[in-house]
Chain A
């Protein structure tokens, strides 16, 4: 690796000596990247600040002004009358079971397809993946009909069901790739020792899959938590809407209360940001599994 030569030498002298091109390049790099990065995070910072301003302040000085005082008014309003508090809880109730169920079912399918000679297993795998790549628009209307005929339309079960069904193909594909890389000898040895198919799955395969399950879990959590289109497709009652959909409703109700709208979007953004920071490494590797591997 040639990285050593490229790292700018930490020197105490002020002012770059003009004879060291490497060092000057490092300075240019930061001169471009630092403002760009600031520009990138500026919208987030701005919304965060706005969320902590009072309505009177915004009304008097406009949304783009410096805050004159900090207030929790926006958050109080958003969580209370704006129903974001309830919506957060709804989202948890949908996201947790949907993620767990998706990964469980996907691991079953991946196990079956990766360890056994099921006829046409490649075709099955790719078909399942293809299902996940379909544009959701082609499913919306029939899915709401399917939920009606199952008697779960406008319930959170419907939302969990569609998240599980729609995500399965992708999760299966990724887990399959991982399970295939587990050496045959390992499971073969367990089989000779008398372990059954289910035991091998539970005691050997699943523990070994923990890294990819974590990555997929982080990814699935943000996808499901962030979903909008399925929620507004299978739910009708406003009181049942999860965070993202509730946020849009709130926006309609608080047209010029920008502090409330900003606070509500911060509330909707915080959980995924936490997942992101807690699982940053998993998260990035999860994204890569999906696309370039």
Chain B
């Protein structure tokens, strides 16, 4: 490691031309103004009580104390856990299974792949509306259930507090599976096919080959998929906003939708900022995971 930084670099060590500083400083200034400065402000606001008018009143950690006594917040936090596990688990399982199935080129594979990642190009809001239509009382889902004699299962999926969160989750997974599949397809491409063939020659079955030959080679992709999925699930907002706005009775409320309501509907800016800080804290560990992985790639 230490020997690497020695002589050959010397030529590049000449002074950085002035114009290059402009090249760097202009984008950096934009990002500081639009991202880092606002982020710092959120931390400050989370320690205040503010309705947007006049000066923010510092209240110390009161917002956070109130948060953990707030049933809606705790519900949203719990829903976020369900969301992260359900959304992450289902889209990883689905995406991985499809990637394995569609990995080797054969007839029709291109068509299947395209169909499965097509939903990914739609916005989450569009996805939400697509599925709202299906979940209508007389929509496709109830009609299909009726057609196979399951009338008793028919529901107002989005208006029922027991099912609303899961109904939204299915729609979100439908869109995410294609993305995860693309990531795993890339991961599978970088695995060594000769290992798989060798294992097959030695008599290993498909499951054994996957479990002991392919899976260990997907470690890197797994880390990325894991981090991306958790970051995505903490960010999830659009699809819930489009389908239920967190209702009915906060049953599909996530931290992000609750934060938006507190901030932009009720103008409890301090309280909303405190929720945002919680979201940030939860995301932090996964952001770091992603960055560590990115660093490794930079070095490689």
Task: Contact check, A165 vs B24: say whether CB atoms are below 8 A apart.
Answer: no
Task: Chain B residues near A166: list those with CB within 8 A.
Answer: 34-35
Q: Tell me if A178 is interfacial: C-beta within 8 Å of chain B.
A: no
Task: Contact check, A135 vs B279: say whether CB atoms are below 8 A apart.
Answer: yes
In chain A between 209 and 238, which residues have their CB closer than 8 angstroms to a CB of chain B?
A: 222, 225-229, 232-233
Q: Tell me if A87 is interfacial: C-beta within 8 Å of chain B.
A: no
Query: Pick the contact of B280 from A105, A134, A222 — CB < 8 Å?
Result: A134
Q: Tell me if B129 is interfacial: C-beta within 8 Å of chain A.
A: yes
- Known contacts being A136-B235, A138-B279, A291-B183, is A128 close to B287, with CB within 8 Å? no
**Distance in angstroms between the alpha carbons of A177 and B255 in the assembled complex:** 34
Output the residue of A44, A112, A288 with the most chain B CB within 10 A. Answer: A112
Task: Chain B residues near A137: list those with CB within 8 A.
Answer: 235, 237, 255-256, 259-260, 275-276, 279-280
Residue of B nearest to A109 (CB): B27
Of the listed stretches A11-19, A29-37, A69-77, chain B binds: A29-37
Residue of B nearest to A161 (CB): B34
Q: Tell me if A126 is interfacial: C-beta within 8 Å of chain B.
A: yes
Task: Contact check, A112 vs B39: say whether CB atoms are below 8 A apart.
Answer: no
Range of interface residues on B (Cβ < 8 Å) = 35 or more
Task: Chain B residues near A129: list those with CB within 8 A.
Answer: 291, 294
Task: Contact check, A248 vs B241: say whether CB atoms are below 8 A apart.
Answer: yes
1/0 per residue, CB under 8 A from B, across A245-269: the answer is 1011001000000100110110011
**Distance in angstroms between the alpha carbons of A261 and B298 in the assembled complex:** 46
Query: Pick the contact of A139 from B16, B39, B121, B237 — CB < 8 Å?
Result: B39
Query: Pick the contact of B108 from A6, A33, A128, A143 — CB < 8 Å?
Result: A33
Query: Pick the contact of A287 from B13, B105, B183, B220 — CB < 8 Å?
Result: B183
Task: Contact check, B186 vs A288: say whether CB atoms are below 8 A apart.
Answer: yes
Task: Contact check, A105 vs B27: say whether CB atoms are below 8 A apart.
Answer: yes
**Distance in angstroms between the alpha carbons of A135 and B138 in the assembled complex:** 37
Task: Contact check, B101 vs A258: say whether CB atoms are below 8 A apart.
Answer: no
Q: Tell me if B212 is interfacial: C-beta within 8 Å of chain A.
A: no
> SS class of chain B's interface: helix, strand, loop or mixed?
helix
**Distance in angstroms between the alpha carbons of A251 and B179 in the assembled complex:** 27
Task: Contact check, B121 vs A106: say whether CB atoms are below 8 A apart.
Answer: no
What's the minimum C-beta distance from A219 to chain B, rounded to whole angstroms?
10
**Distance in angstroms between the alpha carbons of A161 and B287 in the assembled complex:** 24
Task: Chain B residues near A116: list those with CB within 8 A.
Answer: 12, 16-17, 20
What's the minimum C-beta distance from A234 to chain B, rounded to whole angstroms?
11
Task: Contact check, A292 vs B183: say whether CB atoms are below 8 A apart.
Answer: yes
Task: Chain A residues near B17: list those with CB within 8 A.
Answer: 116, 197
In chain A between 130 and 146, which residues have their CB closer than 8 angstroms to a CB of chain B?
A: 130-143, 145-146
Q: Tell me if B41 is interfacial: C-beta within 8 Å of chain A.
A: yes
Of the listed stretches B67-75, B83-91, B112-120, chain A binds: B112-120
Task: Contact check, A131 vs B35: say whether CB atoms are below 8 A apart.
Answer: yes
**Distance in angstroms between the alpha carbons of A186 and B106 in the assembled complex:** 41
Q: Tell me if A203 is interfacial: C-beta within 8 Å of chain B.
A: no
Having A44-B118, A273-B118, one finds 20 other A-B pairs with CB under 8 Å, namely A34-B108, A40-B119, A43-B174, A108-B26, A109-B24, A124-B28, A126-B291, A130-B287, A138-B277, A139-B39, A168-B27, A169-B35, A172-B27, A225-B123, A244-B238, A248-B242, A251-B129, A269-B122, A287-B183, A292-B186
Can you list 25 A-B contacts (CB < 8 A)?
A34-B108, A62-B138, A64-B142, A106-B27, A108-B26, A108-B27, A128-B31, A131-B36, A135-B276, A137-B256, A137-B275, A138-B276, A140-B264, A164-B34, A226-B125, A228-B241, A258-B136, A261-B132, A261-B133, A269-B122, A280-B114, A287-B179, A288-B182, A291-B225, A291-B228
Interface residues of B (CB under 8 A from A): 12-14, 16-17, 19-24, 26-28, 30-31, 33-39, 41-42, 45, 101-102, 104-108, 111-112, 114-119, 121-126, 129-134, 136, 138-140, 142-143, 174, 179, 182-183, 186-187, 193, 197, 220-221, 224-225, 228, 231, 234-235, 237-238, 241-242, 255-256, 259-260, 263-264, 269, 272-273, 275-277, 279-280, 283, 287, 290-291, 294-295, 297-298
The 7 closest A-B pairs by CB, nearest first: A165-B34, A226-B123, A142-B38, A142-B41, A64-B143, A112-B24, A109-B27
